[in-house]
């Protein structure tokens, strides 16, 4: 029983760790390349335009999500993720039909609840992201595998001049915004050369590299998304290795009223660091 309860705490930690680095209901498709010219034959400039043209706006997203944790302990659980563009993100995780953890992010704060131990976390976004000024839209794009320009929204054909592109030795290519986050944090996106799907997001903080990788491209209403996100990082002394897998094929445009944060009664508020110490 003690081991099970500890694993359920890992759930909340993994979800929080995923967020801290981070449509409508039509059918999705695994086909990514489009247009009359195969992506593999495009010039670098054409690839940039292709990515921008398929980074279309969306409003609401509700779909199944699976969380697979390899570290600090192995665990796999399912739930749902709800997003309202530029407004909020809500994730609920369940075991045998019972909600065991949830996480909510709005434009100001990050909240997470461990319903087994009755703990919750409430932290300003700036504190979670080490002072970086990230919008809720930036975080949503990072989770969904979509390029963005910090504080300027989605990368589109209207702001192509705000990025630089470069071919990489392995055949992939990179897209780097000209402006830095907070004037000091660099970040870039790496794409697969033969289909223009997002491969990785890299962030440079004082010479230290952070980021995540992506897999399983899909399109929804002509807009590209990535259905799998993997993050490997250190949260304090605890190594976190977690993967989120979405099912865009079961996307639903409706967002239930319950997909929001309510501070739980009779729960103890703790710091993220305290929760991590419990897992050591």
pLDDT tens digits for range 12-43: 555 444 444 443 233 334 444 445 689 989 99
Q: In the predicted model, what is the mean pLDDT of residues 97-103?
A: 91
Higher pLDDT, 153 or 236: 153
Alpha helix stretches (DSSP H) within the chain: 2-21, 44-53, 125-128, 136-144, 272-277
Task: Provide CB contacts within 8 A for 9, sequence distance 6+.
Answer: 114, 116, 117, 119, 275, 278, 279
Question: How many CA atoms are closer than 13 Å to the CA of 81, on its beta-carbon side?
Answer: 23
How many helices (DSSP H) and strands (DSSP E) are in the chain? 5, 17
pLDDT tens profile 215-231: 999 999 889 999 999 99
Which H or E element spans position 237? Answer: none
Question: Tokens representing 265?
Answer: 């009664």
Backbone angles phi, psi at 146, to 5 degrees: -125, 130
Bond from prior residue into 48 cis (ω within 30 degrees of 0): no
How confident is the model at residue 35, as a pLDDT? 52
* 231 close to 242: Cβ distance less than 8 angstroms: yes
- 171-189 pLDDT, tens digit each: 999 999 999 999 999 999 9
- Assess whether pLDDT exceeds 50 at residue 192: yes
By mean pLDDT, which of 94-103, 182-191, 193-202 is the weakest?
94-103
Give me the mean pLDDT over the 140-150 stretch.
96
So what's the pLDDT on residue 208?
81
Please give the domain boundaries of the chain with CATH numbers for all domains.
Answer: 2-277 (2.50.20)
| pLDDT attached to residue 97 | 86
pLDDT of residue 25: 30
Mean pLDDT (the chain) is 85
Work out the pLDDT band at 278, boundaries 50, 70, 90: low
Average pLDDT over residues 131-146: 91
Q: Which whole number is the average pLDDT over 131-137? A: 85
Residue 276 has pLDDT above 70, yes or no: no
Q: Is the pLDDT of residue 167 over 90?
A: yes
* % the chain with pLDDT above 90: 62
Partners of residue 110 on adjacent β-strands: 105, 123
Torsional sign, CA 58, 62, 64, 67: positive
pLDDT at 68: 92
- Bridge partners (DSSP) listed for residue 210: 203
Strands 109-114 and 119-124: antiparallel
Q: Is residue 279 scored above 90 in pLDDT?
A: no
The pLDDT of residue 19 is 45
Which residues does 56 contact at the CB level (< 8 Å), separation at least 6? 221, 222, 223
Q: Among 190, 201, 147, which residue's Cα sits nearest to residue 168?
A: 190
Residue 277 φ/ψ, nearest 5 degrees: -60, -30
- Give the pLDDT of residue 102: 93
Contacts of 103 (CB under 8 A, 6+ apart): 12, 15, 16, 19, 89, 90, 91, 110, 111, 112, 113
């Amino acid at each position: 029983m003690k081991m099970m309860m500890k694993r359920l705490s890992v759930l909340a930690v993994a979800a929080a760790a995923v967020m801290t680095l981070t449509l409508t209901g039509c059918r999705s498709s695994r086909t990514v390349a489009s247009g009359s010219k195969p992506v593999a034959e495009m010039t670098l400039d054409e690839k940039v335009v292709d990515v921008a043209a398929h980074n279309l706006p969306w409003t609401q997203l509700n779909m199944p999500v699976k969380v697979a944790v390899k570290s600090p302990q192995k665990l796999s659980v399912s739930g749902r993720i709800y997003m309202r563009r530029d407004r909020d993100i809500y994730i609920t995780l369940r075991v045998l039909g019972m909600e065991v953890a949830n996480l909510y992010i709005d434009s100001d704060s990050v909240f997470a609840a461990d319903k087994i131990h009755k703990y919750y976390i409430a932290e300003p976004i700036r504190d979670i992201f080490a002072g970086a000024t990230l919008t809720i839209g930036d975080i949503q794009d990072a989770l969904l595998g979509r390029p963005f320009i910090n504080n300027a929204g989605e990368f589109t054909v209207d702001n192509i001049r705000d990025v630089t592109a470069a071919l990489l030795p392995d055949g992939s290519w990179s897209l780097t915004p000209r402006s830095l986050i907070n004037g000091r944090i660099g970040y870039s996106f790496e794409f697969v050369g033969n289909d223009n799907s997002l491969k990785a997001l890299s962030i440079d903080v004082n010479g230290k590299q952070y980021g995540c990788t992506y897999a399983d491209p899909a399109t929804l209403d002509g807009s590209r998304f990535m259905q799998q996100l993997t993050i490997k990082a250190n949260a304090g002394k605890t190594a976190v290795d977690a993967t989120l897998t979405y099912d865009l094929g079961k996307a639903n445009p409706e967002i239930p009223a319950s997909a929001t944060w309510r501070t739980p009664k009779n729960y103890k508020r703790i710091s993220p660091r305290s929760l991590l110490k419990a897992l050591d």
